[in-house]
Chain A
Amino acid sequence: MDENKNNNKITRRDIIKGLATVPVAGAFAWSWFSKRGHENVLKKALQEEIQLSGNNPVLDREVPDDKRIRLGIIGTGGRGRSILKGAGFLQPEIIDTYLEGAAKNNTDTRYREFQEQDDLNVVVNGVCDIYDINAKRGISACANIKKEGSDSQQTEGPKRYKTYKELLAANDIDAVIIATPDHWHGTMTIEAARSGKHVYCEKPMTWTVPETYEVVKAVRDNGIVFQLGHQLRQTEAYFRAKEAISKNILGKVSLVEVTTNRNDPTGAWVYPIDKEAGRHNIDWEQFIGPAPAHPFSLERFFRWRCWWDYSTGLSGDLFTHEYDAMNQILDLGIPYSAMSSGGIYFYKDGRTVPDVLQQSFEFPDKDLTLLYSASLSSNLNRGRRIMGHDAYMEVGGNLKIFVDSGSTKYRSKIDNGLIDPSLPLYSFTPGMKQVDAITSATEQYFAGRGLMYTYRGGKRVDTTHLHLKDWLDCIRGGGEPSCNVERGFEEAITAHMGTISYLENRKVYWDQEKQLIV
Chain B
Amino acid sequence: MKKNTSQSYSAIQLFWLTALRVLIGWHFLYEGLVKLVNPNWSSVGYLVDSRGFMQQFFEWLAARPGTLQVVDFANIWGLILIGAGLLLGFLTKPALWAATVMLGFYYLSHPPFVGLNYNLPTEGSYLIVNKVLIELVAVVVLMVFPASRRIGLDRLIHKSK
Contacts and interface: CB of A to CB of B under 8 A. Distances in A.
Contacts of A9: 159
A433 B39 contact: yes
Given A19-B153, A20-B152, A452 B44 contact: yes
B60 interface: yes
Contact of B18 (A10, A19, A20, A25): A20
B121 to A, nearest CB: 6
Contacts of A109: 63
Contact of B64 (A3, A10, A106): A106
Given A14-B156, A24-B26, A451 B151 contact: no
B64 to A, nearest CB: 7
Nearest to A429: B40
A445 B48 CA distance: 14
Contact of B45 (A8, A433, A446): A446
A10 B159 CA distance: 7
A433 B84 CA distance: 29
Interface in A1-47: 1, 3, 8-10, 14-15, 17-22, 24-25, 28, 32, 36
A152 interface: no
Interface residues of A, number: 37
A435 interface: yes
Interface residues of B, number: 41
B156 A10 contact: yes
A445 B153 contact: no
Nearest to A32: B33
Contact of A21 (B41, B60, B88, B161): B88
A440 interface: yes
B54 interface: no
Given A28-B29, A451-B48, A443 B40 contact: yes
Given A106-B59, A106-B64, A21 B119 contact: no
B79 interface: no
B22 A21 contact: yes
Contacts of A17: 150-152, 155
Nearest to A11: B159
Interface in B25-82: 26, 29-30, 33-34, 37-41, 44-46, 48-49, 59-60, 62-65
Interface string B136-161: 00000000000000111111100111
Given A21-B151, A445-B121, A28 B18 contact: no
B63 A106 contact: yes
Given A21-B18, A445-B121, A28 B26 contact: yes
A432 interface: yes
B4 interface: no
Given A1-B7, A434-B40, A435-B40, A24 B45 contact: no
B61 to A, nearest CB: 9
A458 interface: yes
Contacts of B64: 106
B87 interface: yes
Greatest chain B CB density within 10 A among A15, A18, A440 is at: A18
B151 A15 contact: no
A25 B22 CA distance: 9
A107 interface: yes
Contacts of A28: 26, 29-30, 87
A32 B62 CA distance: 30
B89 interface: yes
A97 interface: no
A21 B160 contact: no
B12 interface: no
Given A451-B119, A458-B65, A440 B34 contact: yes
Interface in B77-127: 84, 87-89, 119-121
A299 B155 CA distance: 84
Nearest to A449: B119
B44 A22 contact: no
A246 interface: no
A445 B120 contact: yes
A109 B60 CA distance: 12
B87 A8 contact: no
A20 B45 contact: no
A143 to B, nearest CB: 31
B26 to A, nearest CB: 6
A343 B115 CA distance: 42
A266 interface: no
A8 B159 contact: yes
Contacts of B159: 8-10, 14, 18
A50 to B, nearest CB: 16
B102 to A, nearest CB: 17
A451 B45 CA distance: 7
Nearest to B8: A1
A442 interface: yes
A20 B21 CA distance: 13
B156 A25 contact: no
Given A446-B45, A451-B48, A8 B160 contact: yes
A443 B41 contact: yes
Contacts of B153: 18-19
25 contacts: A10-B159, A14-B156, A18-B151, A18-B152, A20-B18, A20-B151, A21-B18, A21-B87, A21-B152, A22-B88, A24-B22, A28-B26, A28-B30, A36-B37, A106-B59, A106-B60, A433-B40, A442-B46, A443-B41, A443-B45, A446-B45, A451-B49, A452-B44, A452-B45, A458-B65
Interface of A: 1, 3, 8-10, 14-15, 17-22, 24-25, 28, 32, 36, 106-107, 109, 432-435, 439-443, 445-446, 449, 451-453, 458
Given A14-B159, A443-B45, 8 more contacts: A9-B159, A18-B155, A21-B22, A439-B38, A440-B38, A451-B45, A451-B48, A452-B44
